[in-house]
Amino acid sequence: MHSTRAAPGTVIGGRYALRAAVGHGGMGTVWRATDTVLRREVAVKEVVLPPGLAASDAEAMYERTHREARAAAALSHPSVVQVFDVVVEEGRPWIVMELLDARSLADMVIEDGPVAPRAVAKIGVALLGALEVAHAAGVLHRDVKPANVLITRDGRCVLTDFGVAKLPTDVQLTTPGMVLGSPHFISPERALGHRFGPPSDLFSLGVTLYTAVEGRPPFDKGDPLATMHSVVEDPPALPQRCGPLADVLYGLMEKDPQRRWDVPTSRGFLREMLAGPLAQNASPQHVTDPWAIVAPPPPPPPVYQQRRQEKQVGGRAMLHTGEMPADRFTRSRQGTQAQPVLGDAKPNKLRFAVIGGIAAVLIAATVSWAMFGGDDDPKGTQPTGQPQNKPSASASAAPANTEVLTLSGVSVNVPKGWKRSPSSTYVDVQDPADTTRWLRINVTNEKNAKSALESADNRKIGNCDAGTYEKISLTDVELAGTPGAQLEFRCSIKGVPKHGIWRIAVIKGAARHCYLQVPEATFAADKAIFDAAVASYKVT
């Protein structure tokens, strides 16, 4: 049995020529490929076995891949990814699927911030349809989460990765007590090891929609076991941004599967919201498109586009099991044509017994989980009562090669001529000739600087390439004369060696960050940028 990873140029099944890897997941790598027979672009999923996996476990993983293909190929719905073929090459299964010009809902939230309630409602309608078709065919998805939801450029919403889907006729492939799926999105009955069915997928859908509109998972505790305990025992974090979607979120996240909202109830409610409180004028090109989720992409923005001033939280918890969310800011996207109301189902308002006066849960993690180019670290939340000042150059003196930047009561020297990408509580300062060289000044809500950096270190700084993260040091230091902590690390991101140094101190009730990340090749020289910033750091 072979487990060597494929490479560009490999031909699978005598017809599918692999071009480039476009994604990685728990079950392997997805390749962009060309079907040389039909002369069309396709996606090919390769199973990548973990190192040292026993032969029996490898066989089980291969069988799961076959099962994914069988489950998905049997379904016909615009919100289920289409499977074209299954090929066995050198003893390994490969799944050939439609190639979508899309990005995941997880990436949307991490990169852009929480999604507008109207768009989330339309995503909900689409995914309810996909689950309805799957459940009618006897297929449970068992891993509904934002990372498995794709939104295409033309607004189509697709549920992917039936890798842990279960057919009624399948043999048991997991040992008793083994839980598949992501703990942030697992249903209470599955977390307890009880019997489960379609309501379990609907609970996961509720958590997915909550995460999309709120920007963070509702039960996150920073640890897989603690998170699953919260799923079973705790109410969700009090929502802040969902607006009229609160009822359907609580209905889908009902702990008791017998009381949980079903597909018709949930869909009827969402359609009423889209025709009522969430209605808006449709773009002409989407009037007849029943699956449109988001508006067509706008023209390319300026490289250093200012983001909207609004607190947001996002999370890599949506991407991989056991990982915490990171702070993110909104670039909310509006939906398009409202779906007509079909049916007159009016659900009862089912809510958890939420303790009166419960505060909104603010996730303390500030590490980025989406290190793409220069936008690869947390964008903090505004401390209560802090003024929302736009960064600007101060008239006070600064060294010739720097200029003074002020932000939310912070004054710091940054490289002169570097471009700024600001929001209400943070600013990125980037080398205009190389945006992978950047300095971030940030203000967030953490109460313990070292704990925040220890959490970042434990999670190996999010999107570092697997196995490349290396902690250099985690030390006690000062920032603006206040005791704090500093993390220095190396890792590769998309194959490029990076070097980061991140200092935090809690000053006047807010966590003050100074964070430099640059290519390893330039760190020795760029360290002076960080040193100048922390030496000049002042809080007014």
Tokens of 279: 């209605």
Through-space distance between the first and last CA atoms of the chain, rounded to whole angstroms: 64
Tokens of 435: 């945006």
Task: Tell me, yes or no, if 143 is annotated catalytic.
Answer: yes
The DSSP 8-state label assigned to residue 140 in this structure reads B
Query: CA 102, CA 149: separation in Å to the nearest integer?
Result: 10
Query: CA 32, CA 121: separation in Å to the nearest integer?
Result: 31
Among 537, 371, 400, CA closest to 463: 371
In degrees and rounded to multiples of 5, residue 407 shows phi and psi of -160, 120
Of 35, 107, 143, 161, which one is the catalytic site residue?
A: 143
> Contact 501/486 with Cβ under 8 angstroms?
yes
Count Cα neighbours of 271 within 13 Å in the Cβ-side half-sphere: 21
Concatenating the DSSP letter of every residue in 337-403 gives SPPPP-S----------PPTTPPPP-------S--BTTB-S--PPPPTT---PPPEE-SS---TTEE
Exposed / middle / buried, residue 316 (Cβ in 10 Å: 0-12, 13-18, 19+)? buried
Q: Which residues pair with 292 in a beta bridge?
A: none
Query: CA 375, CA 427: separation in Å to the nearest integer?
Result: 11
Q: Which residues of 229-253 are buried (b: 16+ CB within 10 A; e: fewer)?
A: ebbeebbbbebbbbbbbbbbbbbbb
Residues carrying an active site annotation: 143
